[in-house]
Amino acid sequence: MREYLKRPEAADYLTSRGLPITKATLQKMATTGGGPPYQIFGNVAVYTPSGLDAWADAKLRAPKQSTSDARAEHTDTTA
């Protein structure tokens, strides 16, 4: 059987992997969009570790070697 995590556990799961997030942020994302995939069981939102991992991986930006790499990413070259 698959492992399911309630929202507080999902926040702890991500935070324990170095990606700090609160259960309140997960709740807001569930309302506004952009958060990890979840399912409803009864009246409880549940997440899978694999879904949390995939979401976090997709949110991470490419590795940087300097702050100038980050600035170049935000520079608008279409002007």
Task: Provide DSSP, the chain.
Answer: ----EEHHHHHHHHHHTT----HHHHHHHHHHS-S---EEETTEEEE-HHHHHHHHHHHSPPP-SSHHHHHHHH-----
The answer to whether residue 75 scores a pLDDT higher than 70 is no
- Which tens digits make up the pLDDT trace of 21-64? 999 999 999 999 999 999 999 999 999 999 999 999 999 988 88
For the whole model, what pTM was predicted?
Answer: 0.80
Tokens read off for 44: 């409880």
pLDDT value of residue 68: 82
CB atoms within 10 A of CB 36: 20
